[in-house]
């Protein structure tokens, strides 16, 4: 089911922006001195008039995007997720969200995918922050197919978007013609015994964890909750009823992340199912490789399978 | 200017210290396989001056209350900082090889909770300079003789927070704050004049109320003199603008255009290996690590 990646997420970002700019001269791509990291220099070479490298000024970049939006332009802002969400949060709140302006923000190096940049750069809070903004669509791209579709959808729908992603290659989950609706989770694998809800890089690990469980006769459903806001609460309730056991997995603090969001849905709907949350539990980031970090934070396929078994007892 | 501050021998010994910082820093990055070579190399001479002469510190007692403080606001240059700390005696040189390894005490970006001698956690650009202002304000409130030294990058000054800090420093007359601006003329995406024109930082900082000097950042002697000079001016915060080269002191990297973060190719690995050998020979028997 998992397929090897065709290209890096950053290539998908740049290719898609180029595709959009072909159709619309109001597309503007903004960077804060991380064009080299995400690859948008290539965009700037083709569309120099639709490309702004602000320099290292994330807060100002958000304000500039607000001004561009005021005058009918479509801004695509990129920086690392740590600086996008944490560093410029008041500007995002005030000048974009509260002011009711449109922009698409790509937060790259999501969570542990910042690897060796370490704790200062490792965003485990961005989903939590962004989902507190009532009109912000909050997503993480689980693979390259989804990233492209989300970017196109963001352009078509307008509004304020936060799309979290890795910059590099991630296992491919979806066929190229797959479509995604905001607010509708994706069933990656069905199952009756337990439902594992995940998003971003954790979907692939949840899937592999579920395959491990399969060999032991446990049939786990894997649901891609890529749309954190709006959240597909009906899917959560459906699988709570169907399996009676829910596990969330995320490359983010469980507090404020999908773990919190799912707990809210279950509690408010009186679903006293077996429930456990995997993800970052009150810790900060650190330097390491993705594999090392997954293991250390307990979100690798083996930890997922173990925790599911523990939950089912 | 007073040239009597140091005799020739002291200058030579600081130059040797700088070479050792450079050597050990490069060895640790080489061992790791990638890292922020460019911006680490351009502050080597300044670190040699700070840790080899200027700062009142005790490596045996990193938390000495009456010490001078140092904040590396451009945190990505951590590897140079760690080499200076190790050579000053805060920890063993062997530890440099744990740079970025699992569970390390030496992460890419400085972490005050992990590394003895690191006064402040940095890595998100523009924040260290504000903390340095806080330290300087505290010294002023307590009327101590301590100084706080801070290195900022020329790209880092894009961040508005730096200019908030500068206003605060000048308004509060923080004359025990000595800021070094590593003007290596490059940031991540290229030359500063292409990404965000800096204009004349000396003129800007003078207008912001700073005691401003501009010196050759490759000369330990000039840097020492600038610090001594700065200390003579009271009632103003100080900035010493360092005319540096990104990749400083490593000819190949100085020339390399994209030298911010380097993951050496096989060919480059050979060049680095040769440079390490060259430096070791220059330093002679006293190479450490
Ligand atoms: C707030 C923030 N934004 C972006 C980055 C990513 N980043 C790391 S170093 C760097 C360039 C820094 O340029 P400069 O200050 O000139 O440093 P130097 O040339 O000395 O390496 C950038 C954009 C960061 N660390 N922090
Ligand atoms: Mg620079």
Domain assignment present for residue A68? The answer is yes
CB A12 within 8 A of CB A166: no
Output the tens digit of pLDDT for each of chain A's 313 residues. Answer: 799 999 999 999 999 999 999 999 999 999 999 999 999 999 999 999 999 999 999 999 999 999 999 999 999 999 999 999 999 999 999 999 999 999 999 999 999 999 999 999 999 999 999 999 999 999 999 999 999 999 999 999 999 999 999 999 999 999 999 999 999 999 999 999 999 999 999 999 999 999 999 999 999 999 999 999 999 999 999 999 999 999 999 999 999 999 999 999 999 999 999 999 999 999 999 999 999 999 999 999 999 999 999 999 9
Pocket-forming residues, ligand 1, beta carbon under 6 Å? A 33-34, 56, 58, 83, 87; B 38-39, 42, 74, 76, 123-126, 153-156, 182, 184, 186-188, 246, 260
Residue A58: active-site member: yes
Q: Which residue of A has its CA nearest to B196?
A: A55
Residue A174 lies in a domain: no
A160 and A13: one domain? Answer: yes
Q: Which residues contact B202 (CB under 8 A, 6 or more apart)?
A: B212, B214, B241
Closest CA to A54 of A2, A11, A91, A101: A91
Q: Which of A34, A36, A56, A118 to mutate to test the pocket of ligand 1 (most atoms within 8 A of CB)?
A: A56
User: Can you tell me the distance from the alpha carbon of B166 to that of B208, in angstroms, rounded to the nearest whole number?
Assistant: 7
Helix (H, G, I), strand (E, B) or coil at B145: coil
On whether residue A70 sits in a domain, the answer given is: yes
Residue A100 maps to a domain:
yes
Pocket test for ligand 1, best of B124, B187, B262 (most atoms within 8 A of CB): B187
Cis peptide before A230 (omega within 30 of 0): yes
Ligand 1 centre and the CA of B161: distance in Å?
Answer: 14
pLDDT at B289 over 50: no
Same structural domain, A225 and A289: yes
Q: State whether A67 and A204 are in the same domain.
A: no
Interface of A with B (CB under 8 A): 31-37, 41, 53-57, 59-60, 82-83, 86-87, 116-121, 286-288, 292
Do A233 and A199 meet the contact criterion of CB atoms below 8 Å apart?
no
Residue A220, domain CATH: 3.40.50.920
Do A122 and A217 fall within a single domain? no
- Say whether the ipTM exceeds 0.85: yes
Same domain, A41 and A159: yes
Residue ending a domain, choose from A131, A164, A197: A164
List residues bridging with A28 in a β-sheet.
A75
* Residues A75 and A122 both lie in one domain: yes
Report the number of distinct structural domains present in chain A: 2
Give the integer Cα–Cα distance in Å for B180 and B186: 16
Q: How far apart are CA A228 and CA A262, in angstroms?
A: 10
User: Residue B116: left (phi > 0), alpha (psi -120 to 50), or beta?
Assistant: beta
* Residues A166/A167/A169/A172 CA torsion (nearest 10 deg): 50
- Same domain flag for A152 and A230: no
Q: In which domain, by residue range, is A67 found? A: 9-164
Same domain for A156 and A192?
Answer: no
Determine, yes or no, domain membership for A179: no
Q: What are phi and psi of B20, to 5 degrees?
A: -70, -40
CATH number, domain B8-284: 3.40.50.970
Q: What is the CATH number of the domain that holds A45?
A: 3.40.50.970
Q: What is d(CA A221, CA A242) in angstroms, rounded to the nearest whole number?
A: 10
In chain B, where the domains are located: 8-284
Contact B226, B213 (CB under 8 A): yes
What pTM does this model have?
0.94
User: Among residues A19, A31, A58, A214, which one is catalytic?
Assistant: A58
A266: helix, coil or strand? Answer: helix
What does B31-49 look like in DSSP terms, one character per residue? HHT-B-HHHHHTTHHHHHH
The confidence score (pLDDT) of residue B6 equals 83
- Among the atoms of ligand 1, which is closest to the Cα of residue B188? 11
Q: Which one, of A97, A103, A157, A154, lies nearest residue A130 by Cα?
A: A97
* Last residue in a domain, options A164, A199, A218: A164
Q: Are residues A116 and A213 in the same domain?
A: no
Do residues A155 and A209 share a domain? no
> Which phi and psi (to 5°) does residue B240 adopt?
-115, 110
């Amino acid at each position: 089911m998992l397929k090897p990646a065709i290209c890096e997420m950053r290539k998908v970002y740049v290719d898609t922006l180029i595709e959009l700019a072909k159709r619309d001269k109001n597309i503007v791509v903004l960077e804060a001195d991380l064009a080299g990291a995400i690859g948008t220099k290539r965009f700037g070479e083709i569309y120099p008039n639709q490309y702004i490298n602000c320099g290292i000024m994330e807060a100002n970049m958000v304000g500039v995007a607000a001004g561009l939006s005021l005058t009918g332009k479509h801004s695509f802002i990129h920086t690392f997720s740590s600086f996008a969400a944490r560093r410029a949060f008041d500007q995002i709140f005030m000048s974009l969200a509260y002011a009711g302006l449109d922009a698409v923000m790509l937060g790259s190096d999501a969570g542990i995918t910042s690897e060796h940049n370490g704790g200062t750069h490792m965003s485990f809070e961005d989903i939590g922050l962004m989902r507190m903004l009532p009109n912000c669509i909050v997503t993480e791209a689980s693979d390259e197919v989804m990233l492209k579709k989300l970017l196109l959808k963001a352009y078509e729908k307008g509004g304020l978007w936060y799309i979290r992603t890795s910059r590099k290659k991630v296992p491919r989950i979806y066929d190229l013609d797959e479509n995604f609706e905001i607010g509708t989770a994706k069933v990656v694998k069905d199952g009756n015994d337990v439902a594992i809800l995940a998003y971003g890089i954790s979907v692939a690990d949840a899937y592999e964890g579920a395959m491990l469980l399969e060999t032991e006769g446990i049939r786990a459903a894997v649901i891609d909750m890529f749309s954190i806001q709006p959240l597909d609460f009906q899917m959560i309730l459906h699988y709570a009823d169907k399996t009676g056991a829910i596990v969330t997995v995320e490359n983010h603090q469980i507090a404020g992340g999908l773990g919190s969001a799912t707990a809210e849905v279950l509690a408010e709907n009186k679903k006293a199912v077996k429930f456990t949350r995997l993800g970052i539990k009150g810790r900060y980031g650190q330097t390491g490789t993705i594999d090392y970090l997954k293991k250390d934070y307990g979100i690798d396929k083996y930890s997922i399978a173990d925790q599911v078994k523990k939950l089912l007892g | 200017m007073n040239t009597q501050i140091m005799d020739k021998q002291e200058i030579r010994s600081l130059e040797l210290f700088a070479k050792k910082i450079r050597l050990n820093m490069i060895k640790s990055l080489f061992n790791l396989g990638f890292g922020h070579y460019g911006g680490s190399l351009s502050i080597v001479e300044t670190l040699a001056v700070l840790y080899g002469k200027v700062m009142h510190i005790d490596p045996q007692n990193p938390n000495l209350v009456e010490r001078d403080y140092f904040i590396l606001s451009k945190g990505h240059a951590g590897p140079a900082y760690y080499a200076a700390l190790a050579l000053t005696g805060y920890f063993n040189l062997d530890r440099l090889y744990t740079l970025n390894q699992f569970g390390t005490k030496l992460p890419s970006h400085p972490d005050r909770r992990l590394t003895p001698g690191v006064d402040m956690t940095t890595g998100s650009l523009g924040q260290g300079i504000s903390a340095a202002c806080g330290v300087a304000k505290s010294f002023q409130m307590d009327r101590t003789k301590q100084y706080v030294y801070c290195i900022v990058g020329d790209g880092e000054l894009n961040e508005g927070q730096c200019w908030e800090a500068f206003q605060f420093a000048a308004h509060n007359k923080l004359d025990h704050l000595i800021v070094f601006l590593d003007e290596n003329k490059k940031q991540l995406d290229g030359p500063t004049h292409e990404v965000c024109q800096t204009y004349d930082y000396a003129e800007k900082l003078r207008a912001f109320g700073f005691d401003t000097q501009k010196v050759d950042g490759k000369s330990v002697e000039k840097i020492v003199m600038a610090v001594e000079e700065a200390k003579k001016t009271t009632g103003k915060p100080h900035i010493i603008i360092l005319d540096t080269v990104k990749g400083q002191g490593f000819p190949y990297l100085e020339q390399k255009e994209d030298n911010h973060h380097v993951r050496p190719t096989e060919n480059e690995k050979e060049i680095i290996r040769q440079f390490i050998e060259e430096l070791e020979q220059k330093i002679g028997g006293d190479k450490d690590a």
